[in-house]
Structure 1
Amino acid sequence: MKTLFTSIIVLFISIAMNAQETFTLKVTVNNAKDDQGKMVYSLSTQNQFMKAAPLQSASVEIKDGVAVATFENVPIGDYAVMVLHDKNGNNQMDFSEQGMPTEAYGMSNNPMSYGPPTWEDAKITVDSDKEITVRL
């Protein structure tokens, strides 16, 4: 009986230690030039950033230049958020013949750079419920 009781206690401690705390990340864009199309959001880890499918994504209606996406159950860690104003609804960034984006986009931390954003510029740490604003 004592062995069974000890085994149950060890099992509960093991489950509690392996339970991963998660948080909510709310991302607001409040400077869309118009309400045409949708705002497409992606939440990525470093390994996914600009290379692979994101950890989570969302597509949100724009109203009066504002769109808000909420990512839930986000484990503690470093992430980057990318937002695209997808005016034509094709769920991808469109480019001109010269290779420049033709639709507005933004990243977490709002880096201002010429060329593609870097992970270090866009990285945010989620270790509590968080709200950020991304500028396009």
Structure 2
Amino acid sequence: MKIIKYLFCFCFILLALSNYAQSPVLKLIVPNVESAQGDLQVSIFNNDKTFLKEKEEYRIYRFKVEKDSDVFTIDDLPQGEYAMIIFHDKNSNKDLDRSFLGIPKEGYGFSNNIKPHLSAPDFRDCCFSLVKDTKIEIELLY
């Protein structure tokens, strides 16, 4: 009988710890996607040394854009500080298409809705804390 009590306590502790270890849910709201064509790419960075450097993202997510879809869910990021850039990859080529002058041809946006002027923003400008379930809205720049 004593073993059953210990087993019960052990299972209870494991259950409590598993709920504690769950990642917070990040709901990304993008209200102005122009069309249901292509994908939305979300690039997540977790430090200023890699921010906006190609192939150095902490995580990349791709979501199929569907008619009337403007909420995208990320549920596997651990608690921490992050910055993100998103873009509407209309032709699904996994690249932000640009003009010959380097100006983006597809909609893009940064966390905290930072609008770059003459240079790209830095990590601190775009940084947000993910410690609990969070909603972030980013409007695409066209």
TM-score of the two chains, using structure 2 as the length reference: 0.73
Q: Is 1:53 matched up with 2:56?
A: yes
Corresponding residue for 2:25? 24
- Superposition map of 1:122-133 within 5 A: 122-133=126-137
Is the 1:61–1:67 Cα contact (8 Å) retained in structure 2?
no
SS of alignment partner, residue 25 of structure 2: strand
Is the 1:31–1:65 Cα contact (8 Å) retained in structure 2?
no
Residues 42-89 of structure 1: per-residue CA shift (max 9 Å, x gap) = 221114321143222221122335333322232221101211100111
Sequence identity, in percent? 29
CA distance in 2 between partners of 1:31 and 1:72 (Å): 23
SS of alignment partner, residue 125 of structure 2: helix
SS of alignment partner, residue 75 of structure 2: strand
1:24–1:89 distance in 2 versus 1, CA, 3 Å = same
- Superposition map of 1:79-118 within 5 A: 79-114=82-117, 115-118=119-122
Give the AA of the match of 2:139: R
CA distance in 1 between partners of 2:66 and 2:37 (Å): 9
Give the AA of the match of 1:24: V
SS of alignment partner, residue 73 of structure 1: coil
- Superposition map of 1:63-74 within 5 A: 63-64=66-67, 66-74=69-77
1:88–1:66 distance in 2 versus 1, CA, 3 Å = same
Corresponding residue for 1:6? none
TM-score of the two chains, using structure 1 as the length reference: 0.76
Q: Is 1:34 matched up with 2:38?
A: no
Corresponding residue for 2:8? none
Structure 2: 5+ residue stretches without partners: 1-12
Structure 1: 5+ residue stretches without partners: 1-11
CA distance in 2 between partners of 1:105 and 1:82 (Å): 7
